[in-house]
């Protein structure tokens, strides 16, 4: 057994398609989208587009006395993941200074920052309390405090690649021996800023994202949190933990080309996948499933399709984007999709690329149309973000 392999021993998720991995998986089996009407706030300009809004009361579920919607999502998913790994009560011998957390996020407590600005500009009142949980790292600190994780803490914000980066960082922390247990994931809530922002880019779909479909009309925003509990494989085996699989490799690159537009040839994205596979020691031909970034915008889908062809040749493995299930959750997307990958591998089922009907010749392949059986030993999961950030993870079984 290689001593630096990183095992996934717990998962947690909060999404528009469910508050638990089981709920989410039933939605994936039923091919039921979590996209729906926005009720979280009024949006005169963009209120009509479908979004992946989490239903229910996150504050009640998190039990936190304060914090942003993002913080609540993060704490719920983190608590479930830690519970799932059996480390919620790690025993008196456990050193909590050896347990850490690394999260990705983009907007943190922006919802209340928006309320702050409304008060300031419309009522001339400066309500500093509304800024208290503004930063993304508030979620990281809330998770650390709530679950008594006293070790390594970091918050990374690489736009839509944030939480894949968080998983990669979590693995590096374990491999260098700076912690024994790492919670790695991401959380983001819907905000007026991101909704209006993406609408101003004219890339939000009016009927819901249909990634890779010839008639796609843009992305759909969502919210939520995804968390993985990571441990060195040998430590996980030694304590008799249930091991879902490994994070065997990760690779990240930057397009260094344009602030928002992906490099049309997808070359830097392809390099991110190649680096991840190289670290994992897995040949492209051995990959059974790719969970694509697949936002449903023309520019992303075509660039990603080219990147996939560059890595896997003209016949890529089974590919699906699962974004129509809960929307594009920005800083949480990578970690939530990593949870989908873990579930797919556990159940040996390919999750559907919900919303796909018509093959796009320019994409050049048809994604998984319906959730179905498959042999899944090795998975590549992609997250690409503004700023040209590309981060790919390889998740595989222990025998892959």
Question: Which of 9, 53, 157, 321 contacts another protein by CB under 8 A?
Answer: 157
Q: How far is the CB of 38 from another protein (least distance, A)?
A: 13
Q: Which is nearer to another protein, 153 or 347 (CB)?
A: 153
Q: Known catalytic residues?
A: 160, 293, 328
**Does 106 participate in binding another protein (rule CB under 8 A)?**
yes
Find the part of the chain contacting another protein (CB under 8 A) among 17-25, 56-64, 194-202, 221-229: 194-202
Element at 27 (helix H, strand E): helix 21-30
* Contact flags string 286-325 toward another protein, x per CB under 8 A: ----------------------------------------
**Does 334 participate in binding another protein (rule CB under 8 A)?**
no
The structure tokens listed for 181 are 């247990």
Opening angle at CA 304, ends 300 and 309, nearest 5 = 155
Rounded-to-integer distance, Cα 234 and Cα 371, Å? 33
**Does 40 participate in binding another protein (rule CB under 8 A)?**
no
Find the part of the chain contacting another protein (CB under 8 A) among 59-67, 195-203, 340-348, 371-379: 195-203
Rounded-to-integer distance, Cα 152 and Cα 102, Å? 8
Q: Which is nearer to another protein, 144 or 378 (CB)?
A: 144
Question: Which of 26, 200, 348, 358 contacts another protein by CB under 8 A?
Answer: 200
Opening angle at CA 83, ends 32 and 191, nearest 5 = 50
Check residue 44 and report its DSSP letter: T
**Does 140 participate in binding another protein (rule CB under 8 A)?**
yes
The structure tokens listed for 393 are 């993870």
Q: Nearest Cα to 276, choosing from 303, 305, 307?
A: 307
Question: Which residues, 258 to 287, sit near another protein by CB under 8 A?
Answer: 258-261, 268, 271, 275
What is the per-residue DSSP string for 82-121? HHHHT-SS--TT--GGGEEEEEE-S-TTHHHHHHHHHHHH
**Are the CB atoms for 327 and 52 separated by under 8 Å?**
yes
**Does 150 participate in binding another protein (rule CB under 8 A)?**
yes
Rounded-to-integer distance, Cα 378 and Cα 287, Å? 5
Find the part of the chain contacting another protein (CB under 8 A) among 16-24, 84-92, 134-142, 314-322: 134-142
Question: Which of 255, 301, 304, 360 contacts another protein by CB under 8 A?
Answer: 255
Rounded-to-integer distance, Cα 228 and Cα 232, Å? 13
Question: Which of 57, 89, 124, 373 contacts another protein by CB under 8 A?
Answer: 124
Rounded-to-integer distance, Cα 224 and Cα 187, Å? 6
**Does 253 participate in binding another protein (rule CB under 8 A)?**
yes
**Are the CB atoms for 234 and 1 separated by under 8 Å?**
yes
* Contact flags string 335-354 toward another protein, x per CB under 8 A: --------------------
Beta bridge partners, 249, equal 394
Rounded-to-integer distance, Cα 45 and Cα 361, Å? 34
Q: Which is nearer to another protein, 93 or 202 (CB)?
A: 202
Q: Are strands 372-373 and 153-156 parallel, antiparallel or unpaired?
A: unpaired
Question: Which of 178, 215, 238, 348 contacts another protein by CB under 8 A?
Answer: 178
Q: How far is the CB of 274 from another protein (least distance, A)?
A: 11
The structure tokens listed for 83 are 């519970």
Q: How far is the CB of 201 from another protein (least distance, A)?
A: 6
Question: Which of 36, 59, 94, 118 contacts another protein by CB under 8 A?
Answer: 118
Question: Site residues (CB under 8 A) for another protein?
Answer: 43-46, 100, 105-106, 113-114, 117-118, 120-122, 124-126, 128, 131, 135-137, 140, 144, 150-159, 165, 169, 172, 175-179, 192-193, 196-202, 251-261, 268, 271, 275, 385-389
């Amino acid at each position: 057994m290689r001593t630096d392999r990183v095992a996934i021993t717990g998962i947690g998720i909060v999404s528009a398609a469910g508050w638990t991995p089981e709920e989410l998986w039933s939605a994936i089996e039923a091919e039921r989208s979590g996209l729906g009407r926005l009720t979280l706030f009024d949006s005169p300009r963009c209120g009509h587009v479908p979004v992946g809004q989490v239903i229910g009361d996150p504050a009640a579920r998190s039990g936190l006395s304060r914090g942003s919607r993002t913080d609540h999502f993060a704490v719920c998913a983190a608590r479930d993941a830690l519970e799932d790994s059996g480390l919620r009560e790690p025993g008196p011998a456990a050193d909590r200074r050896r347990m850490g957390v690394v999260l990705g996020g983009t907007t943190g407590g922006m919802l209340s920052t928006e309320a702050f600005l409304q008060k300031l500009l419309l009522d001339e009142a400066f309500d500093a309390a509304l800024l208290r949980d503004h930063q993304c790292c508030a979620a990281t600190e809330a998770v650390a405090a709530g679950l008594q994780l006293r070790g390594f803490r970091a918050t990374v914000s690489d736009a839509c690649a944030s939480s894949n980066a968080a998983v990669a960082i979590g693995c590096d922390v374990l491999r260098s021996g700076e912690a024994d247990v790492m919670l790695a994931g991401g959380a983001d809530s819907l905000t007026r800023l991101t909704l209006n922002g993406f609408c101003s880019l004219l890339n939000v779909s009016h009927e819901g994202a249909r990634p890779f479909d010839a008639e796609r009309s843009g992305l759909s925003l969502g919210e939520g949190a995804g968390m993985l509990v990571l441990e060195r494989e040998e430590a996980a085996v030694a304590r008799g933990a249930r091991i879902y699989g490994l994070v065997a490799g990760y690779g990240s690159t930057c397009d260094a080309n344009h602030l928002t537009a992906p490099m049309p040839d997808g070359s830097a994205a392809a390099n991110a996948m190649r680096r991840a596979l190289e670290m994992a020691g897995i040949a492209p031909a051995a990959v059974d499933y790719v969970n694509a970034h697949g936002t449903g915008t023309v520019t992303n889908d075509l660039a990603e399709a080219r990147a996939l062809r560059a890595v896997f040749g003209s016949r890529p493995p089974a590919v699906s984007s699962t974004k129509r299930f809960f929307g594009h959750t920005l800083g949480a997307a990578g970690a939530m999709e990593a949870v989908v990958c873990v579930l797919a591998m556990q159940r040996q089922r390919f999750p559907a690329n919900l919303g796909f009907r018509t093959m796009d010749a320019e994409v050049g392949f048809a994604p998984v149309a319906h959730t179905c059986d498959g042999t899944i030993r090795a998975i590549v999961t992609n997250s690409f973000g503004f700023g040209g950030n590309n981060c790919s993870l390889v998740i595989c079984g222990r025998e892959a």
